[in-house]
Amino acid sequence: MAGNEHEVNRSARSGQFVKESTAERDPRHTTTEQVGGESSTDDTDREIHRSASTGRFVTETTTELHASTTETQHR
């Protein structure tokens, strides 16, 4: 799947995809992620948590304490 990689922007508040202009206007409440490409079949039911302000991975506890500025995704 090489060549299928691209960036997507997501709102931490709603979890919905947003335009790049929205992410630029409100970087604290959006994340930009690299998607596509090759993936392992072992990762199919994994949850990941990200901070909307930094885009970094955070723990589940951090997500529970700061629900308005983090997001959980299923991979």
Q: How many CB atoms lie within 10 A of CB 54?
A: 13
User: In the structure, what pLDDT confidence band is assigned to residue 1 with cuts at 50, 70 and 90?
Assistant: very low
Strand order in the sheet with 17-18: 17-18, 6-11, 30-35
pLDDT digits (tens, 9 = 90+) for 9-68: 888 778 788 999 999 999 888 888 877 766 555 555 678 888 887 778 888 899 999 988
Per-position DSSP letters for 34-51, written without gaps between them: EE-S---GGGTT-EEEEE
| CA distance linking residue 14 with residue 36, whole number of Å | 22
CA atoms within 13 A on the CB side of 46: 9
The one-letter amino acid code at 9 reads: N
